Structure 1
């Protein structure tokens, strides 16, 4: 993984904790949540406050997520909102944390100036050892406070103030007044600067989870279903379960719920560039595994190797080549249905709240597109990277470092913004074809 780390492709964008005061605040929060402290004097944390260095120190990458069900978090700064979420078990955890920080930015800015904010993303279940328990997850509640209990004290003070204002004899209650003064010393004036958190509870209808081999629970669509990599279909309740390897079933699910659209939107230079990039990526993946790549990453050398070893290229490469010929005006529109190996490489998530989850699913279905896998499904990318030969790693790290790392926003927007109306030719269904084998543009 060293190539990825030095290229900023792994553990990039983390929040650096180096000041002794921040380290001590982190340790107080860590002790509050887990009963442990770190001996490290500086380290990096992600969106949730998880540190890969501390995970290595503890030999426990789940030290803030025991059981992988109710993730704990430590906030030292609102700038953590810009950091990625590592060791993700549920896809909605990052969105919930970022929304929580955005909704409470002013309060968090004030609180983290003096203390760490620690808390937990509480699902409605405590364990997902039984796969069917995943279906009981409907909402996620954010429980958060400083290590000194500022929010709790503020709530208590607020209740005492209401009592003081409404009870006729409260002016003469010395005990009540003393409690209010003592709490106000710790919380400040909660009547002018309330110390409360907004939006503490979030819907969890749709999510990906790494548990039980990895699966997608999508319930907010007209035809809900579970899509799983490896799962016994009979133990997940009443929802239909589709295997990700069942290309027709997945294609039908995406079509029936209008969740996908073509990644190229018509002829032109943009479509040509996207298709050429995808073809190069598929060529690198196939040639590396066959031992046919040059030792040094170079575009011209890749073109020569692609020509010389065309028989080693996957069928998806040749299907995309036919689409490229059409996009360049050199050929007819090709028919690509769900049985074609290139089918899912021609799609991206449609606009809407499930766009990112669909892109994640498409990346998992077509992992040979390592750029899409890195952008949309990092945990799957890192697992595949670790298992691949060194030549593949060198080429992949170079490709991502030169073609993606320095322009992440532009690349993401060009590939996955998906806010344009497709302008693709209409192709009638071939007679006798089942509906589930429709192409993406029918």
Structure 2
């Protein structure tokens, strides 16, 4: 992973913890949450306060995320809101933390000026071991306080202040007055400078989780369902389950809910250029599997390599080539069915609230597209990267540093559109628990694919 670290493709934009005061605050919060401390004198943290250096020291990558649920967090500064989230188990966790910080920035700024804020994203589930629990985590409540209990003390002081003002003999209650003085030493004047946190409940109707083999829950669309890499682990689910291998069912469900659109039909998109890039990545995978060296390879070089390895290139490459040729030279576009290897490579999310999640799913269905994989599903990218050849690792790191990090905004808009140039809009919404407005249902059999109606199988 050293290539990715050097280029900032992993552990980039983390918040430094590099002063004795910050380290001590972090340790107070860490001790409060986990009963552990770090002996490090400087390290870096993500938006949740997770540090890869501390995780390495403790030998526990889940030290703030026990069992992968109810993520705990440590905020030393509101500046953490721009940091990434590492070791994510749910696709909505970063979005919830970001919204929480944005909604309470003034209060959190005041609190972190003197202490760390420690807390937990509570969803009521302690172990994700059954499909029924997927629906139980749809509501998330953020519980937070400083390590020293400032908010707890402020609430206690506020209650005693109310008693002092309302009770007739409060002036003579020495115990009450002494308690107020003691609390005020720790909290300040809460009547003039109240410190409270608001908007702490969020819903996540649609999300990805690493649990149960890798699962996508869509409970906020017209035809609710679960898309799973391993459907056998979702036996007994109350919602329909579609496996990755059930390509026709999956394509029909995605189109029926209006979640995807063909690149060839998207407006303002250079579909041929995008598909050519996907073809290049397929060539890279084939060439590196056969011992090819791609150091400094240009697009012209990749075309030459494709010719040399034409016999080894998978069918998806040739199908994409025919589509690109039709787009650039005119003529009838090939008709593909979901069973064809190139089918999902030609789709992207439609302009819908679930676009980010759908693009994540498409990235998992098309893992040879390493650019989309890195942008939309970093957890899977890092997992697969570890098993790649050195040549493919080198090519991927160089390409991403050159093409993506240089201009993220432009590239995201080119690939995904719909305002994707802006920071990704999360799908976690403020409570109360609600369901997305249902779209009109479509006939899941007669939907129109990228090149006309899907070819029905004959009896």
Report the equivalent of 2:57: 57
Which is worse superposed, 171-180 or 196-205?
171-180
Distance in 1 separating the partners of 2:25 and 2:263: 46
TM-score (norm 2): 0.88
The worse-fitting range, judged by mean Cα deviation, of 199-208 and 108-117 is 199-208
Alignment map for 1:214-229 (pairs within 5 Å): 214-229=214-229
Partner of residue 355, structure 2: 355
2: CA distance, partners of 1:362 / 1:249? 15
**Relative contact order (alpha carbons < 8 A, sep ≥ 6): 1 or 2 greater?**
2
Q: Tell me the equivalent position of 2:445.
A: 435
Deviation at 1:87, TM superposition (A): 0.5
Shift of 1:214: 0.7
Q: Quote the offset at 1:302 in angstroms.
A: 1.7
**Number of positions where the alignment pairs a residue of Structure 1 with one of Structure 2:** 430
Whether the 8 Å CA contact 1:27–1:38 is kept in 2: the answer is: yes
More displaced, 297-306 or 50-59?
297-306
> Which string of whole-angstrom CA distances, capped at 9 and with x for unpartnered residues, describes residues 417-440 of structure 1?
3359xxxxxxxxxxxxx9277414
2:427 maps to what in 1? none
Would you say the 8 A contact 2:255–2:447 is kept in 1? no
* RMSD of aligned residue pairs (Cα, Å): 2.2
Question: Paired residue for 2:310?
Answer: 310
Deviation of residue 411 (structure 1)? 1.3
Q: Answer yes or no: is the 8 Å Cα contact 1:124–1:138 preserved in 2.
A: no
SS of alignment partner, residue 118 of structure 1: strand
Map of 1:81 onto structure 2:
81
Q: Does 1:235 align with 2:232?
A: no
Q: Does residue 170 of the first structure (1) align with residue 199 of the second (2)?
A: no
1:393 paired to 2:393: yes
Please tell me whether residue 34 in structure 1 is matched to residue 44 in structure 2: no
Distance 1:75 1:236 in 2: 39
What is the DSSP-based 3-state SS (H/G/I as helix, E as strand, rest coil) of the residue aligned with 1:232? helix
Does the CA-based 8 Å contact 2:87-2:379 persist in structure 1? yes
Shift of 1:169: 3.3
CA distance in 2, matches of 1:292, 1:418: 37
Tell me, yes or no, if the aligned pair for 1:90 and 1:207 is still in contact at 8 Å.
yes
Deviations 1:324-370 (A, max 9, x none): 22332433333233122122111222233311111111111111111
Superposed CA deviations along residues 383-431 of structure 1, whole A, max 9, x for unmatched, are 11111111111111111111112212221122123359xxxxxxxxxxx
Rounded to whole Å, the distance in 2 between the matches of 1:437 and 1:286 is 33
Structure 1 unaligned residues grouped into runs of 5+? 421-433
Query: Shift of residue 128 of structure 1?
Result: 1.5
Match of 2:110 in 1: 110
User: Residue deviations 1:217-270, cap 9 Å, x none?
Assistant: 111111111111013266343211110121111111111111112335558773
Give the corresponding residue for 2:455: none
Q: Distance in 1 between the 2:16 and 2:264 partners?
A: 39
User: Who is 2:376 aligned against?
Assistant: 376
CA contact (8 A) 2:264 2:450 kept: no
Change (3 A) 1:339 1:69: same
For residues 253-299 of structure 1, the C-alpha deviation after alignment (integer angstroms, 9 at most, x for no partner) is: 11111111233555877333322222212221222223345454333
Tell me, yes or no, if the aligned pair for 2:43 and 2:51 is still in contact at 8 Å: yes
